[in-house]
């Protein structure tokens, strides 16, 4: 029965990523060499994780475990790897040799050494955090009728795949979402996006993500402890809701996608912060920061300006001004960059993807405000999670949210 349910979870993952069905489209053919293979990944991660869990359950009480100082080193190492891997390969080669011609320790060898250290800490960190997250989720009454969490909390702290998002050029709509290798170079990404636009007359964006609800969930540890915890809970909620009306109707329409993502973000942040506080007896954890965001102009209202940009683009596209809208988006991207908000590519696909998260500045949906008000009608985030899971349509949610308000 357990294996069957896990297979159902995998179908849940495969279905949204292959929204267009199981036939191979011309776009999928063009990116076939760069696809991320879920089946291969599951084969190397799922069963090994469960064998480890069984052994740990028989010999180890996670609720009484101590972090023993491995949490902060693991996330520090992960962040260092992230920063080093962002250095272009050509730059790394130059850095390997000093001006005197003597060989220095290259960033490439540093990365290899750091990966080795990371791999030793990884199973300890994953197992420990899974236990703490499970304890917090259970405290909100999210266990099944049989008295345990379903699905069990399971995370793999590693690089998540890149996501290719495709939208028509004449409107903002997510028409296709595919997972690609997490190790694509900036040059390859740019060439793929431009090639898809020229060959298929679509808007394309390849972007990294903060997590994905495979099983186990993939969460990049480079984002630091607090953000990783938020992402982990966010992805677990997608898995949890899949067994209820909310999650099983994720792809019913764009509003249901946004409702799922917004609810997961809101509750995921709240519970993730609770988990973070549960780790807070360690001062080193509380002060650990790994933020890599650039310096922003605090006087620049990015959320307002991005939303304004989206509204103007929507209006231009509705009037058939596709080329003008794309020129306008590039002009706005440069303005954002000048104010410290770097966006590599701002196009229809960008808005189609990030606009599905109601709390994102790229969204013009009212769903974030509606979900926030609905959450405020419950004394516990656990009650909110259990109640919102019942909705099959956005209209059902709106009706009850209005009554609650």
Q: Considering only 163-177, 266-280, 313-327, which range has the smallest mean pLDDT?
A: 266-280
Question: Does residue 18 form part of some domain?
Answer: yes
Is 350 a domain residue? no
Q: If you compute the radius of gyration of the chain from its CA atoms, what whole number of angstroms results?
A: 22
355, 364 contact by CB (below 8 A): yes
Task: Please give the full DSSP string across 128-152, using - where no structure is assigned.
Answer: HHHHHHHHHHHHTT-B-TTSSBSSP
- The verdict on residue 168 lying in a domain is no
Query: How many domains is the chain partitioned into structurally?
Result: 1
pLDDT at 56: 63
Q: What residues make up the domain containing 116?
A: 2-160+209-287
The burial of 94, by beta-carbon neighbours within 10 Å (0-12 exposed, 13-18 middle, 19 or more buried), is given as exposed
Mean pLDDT of all residues in 182-190:
94
For 373-376, which contacts have Cβ atoms below 8 Å and span 24 or more sequence positions?
Answer: 373/401, 373/404, 373/405, 374/400, 374/401, 374/404, 374/405, 375/266, 375/267
pLDDT of residue 144: 87
Residue 41 binned pLDDT confidence (cut-offs 50, 70, 90): confident
Q: Is residue 194 part of a domain?
A: no
- Could you tell me the pLDDT band of residue 55, with boundaries at 50, 70 and 90? low
| Euclidean distance between CA atoms 333 and 350, whole angstroms | 11
Helix (H, G, I), strand (E, B) or coil at 377: coil
| In the block, residue with structure tokens 């349910």 | 5
Do the domain assignments include residue 167?
no
- Is residue 100 included in any domain, yes or no? yes
pTM: 0.85
End-to-end CA distance of the chain: 41
CA 147 to chain centroid, in Å, comes to 29
Q: How far apart are CA 181 and CA 35, in angstroms?
A: 6
CA 381/CA 388 separation, integer angstroms: 11
Q: For residue 285, what pLDDT is reported? A: 61
Does 299 reside within a domain? no
Q: pLDDT per residue over 303-323, tens digit each?
A: 999 999 999 999 999 999 999
* Interval 365-394: pLDDT, tens: 999 999 999 999 999 999 999 999 999 999
**Does residue 336 fall inside a structural domain?**
no
């Amino acid at each position: 029965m357990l294996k069957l349910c896990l297979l159902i979870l995998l179908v849940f993952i495969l279905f949204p990523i292959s929204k267009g069905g199981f036939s191979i489209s011309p776009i999928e053919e063009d990116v076939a060499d760069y696809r991320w293979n879920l089946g291969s990944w599951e084969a190397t991660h799922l069963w090994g994780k469960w064998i480890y869990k069984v052994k740990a359950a028989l010999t180890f009480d996670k609720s009484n475990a101590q972090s023993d100082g491995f949490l902060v080193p693991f996330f520090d190492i992960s962040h260092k790897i992230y920063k080093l891997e962002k250095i272009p390969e050509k730059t790394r080669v130059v850095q390997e040799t000093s001006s005197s011609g003597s060989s220095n320790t290259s960033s490439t060898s540093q990365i290899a050494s750091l990966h080795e250290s990371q791999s030793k800490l990884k199973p300890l960190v994953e197992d420990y955090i899974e236990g703490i997250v499970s304890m917090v989720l259970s405290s909100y009454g999210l266990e099944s009728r049989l008295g345990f969490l379903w699905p069990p909390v399971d995370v793999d702290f590693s690089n998540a795949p890149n996501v290719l998002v495709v939208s028509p050029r004449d409107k903002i709509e997510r028409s296709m979402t595919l997972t690609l290798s997490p190790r694509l170079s900036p040059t390859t990404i740019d060439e793929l996006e431009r090639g898809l636009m020229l060959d298929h007359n679509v808007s394309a964006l390849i972007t990294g993500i903060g997590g994905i609800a495979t099983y186990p969930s993939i969460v990049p540890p480079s984002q630091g402890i607090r953000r990783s915890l938020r992402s982990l809970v966010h992805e677990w909620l997608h898995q949890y809701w899949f067994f209820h009306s909310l999650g099983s109707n994720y792809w019913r329409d764009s509003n249901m996608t946004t409702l799922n993502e917004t609810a997961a973000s809101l509750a995921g942040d709240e519970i993730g912060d609770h988990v973070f506080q549960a780790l807070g007896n360690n001062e080193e954890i509380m002060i650990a920061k790994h933020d890599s965001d650039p310096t922003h102009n605090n006087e620049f209202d990015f959320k307002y300006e991005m939303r304004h940009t989206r509204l103007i683009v929507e209006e231009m596209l509705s009037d058939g001004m596709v080329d003008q809208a794309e020129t306008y988006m590039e002009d706005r991207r440069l303005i954002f960059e000048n104010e410290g908000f770097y966006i590599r590519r701002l196009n229809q696909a960008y808005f189609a993807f990030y606009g599905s998260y109601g709390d994102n500045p790229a969204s013009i949906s009212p769903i974030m405000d509606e979900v926030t008000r609905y959450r405020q009608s419950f004394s516990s985030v656990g009650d909110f999670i259990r109640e919102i899971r019942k909705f099959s349509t956005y209209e059902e949610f709106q009706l009850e949210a209005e009554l609650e308000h």
